[in-house]
Amino acid sequence: MKNLVYISLILSFVIFSSSFIWKKNFTEIGLTTSSSFYELSFESIDGNNISLSEFKGKNVLIVNTASRCGYTRQYNDLQKLQQAYPSDLVVIGFPCNDFGSQEKGSNSQILEFCQKNFGVDFLLSEKIKIKGKECHPIFTWLKSKSLNGVSENQISWNFNKFLINKQGELVSYFPSNVKPLDETITTQIN
């Protein structure tokens, strides 16, 4: 019986400590379990600080991108999608080199590549990290059910897509192979 009490105390301590450490880690990067999508921000590829609160009342499609990927051609459809819904949708590309080292360029090289080859004029962020401790806070929010309130999402490759509705709620996650103009995405943009 005495051992059972000790085990219960140890387990309680471990659970309490884990939740404290978990909350501390999110707090260190500016997130809490009550963080809203609109509290987040990012630096654009041309150096401007962009608050996601600027997009209240619009759907937002967030995509992790790379210039040397088999899915890079999706930039064309992302541009078409942005043009098809100019008042209802904001497309934001987040260049990242975490998957297959397929985004090695500098911010200026990435921007030039996207504009020259795909006519991209939708928003691009500076190059970010998605894996590990340096994960950008927007992707930390997108990946964590305790933050986004909807689902745990694992990103394992480039061109994963996250649709946020006009109220700032995560409504859908789409893996790389779902094309930007697929009905599963377009029917949710209203």
Q: Do the beta carbons of residue 23 and residue 33 sit within 8 Å? A: yes
43-78 burial, b if ≥16 CB within 10 A, otherwise e? eebeeeebebeebeebbbbbbbbbbebebbebbbbb
The Cβ of residue 188 has, within 10 Å, a number of other Cβ atoms equal to 14
Active site residues: 69
- DSSP for 114-157, written as a single string: HHHHH---SEEBPPB--SGGG--HHHHHHH-HHHHSS------S
Q: Order of strands, edge to edge, in the sheet holding 170-174?
A: 123-124, 89-95, 59-65, 161-164, 170-174
C-alpha–C-alpha distance, residues 106 and 27, integer Å: 29
Q: 3-state class of 64 per DSSP? A: strand
> Which amino acid is located at 48 in the chain?
N
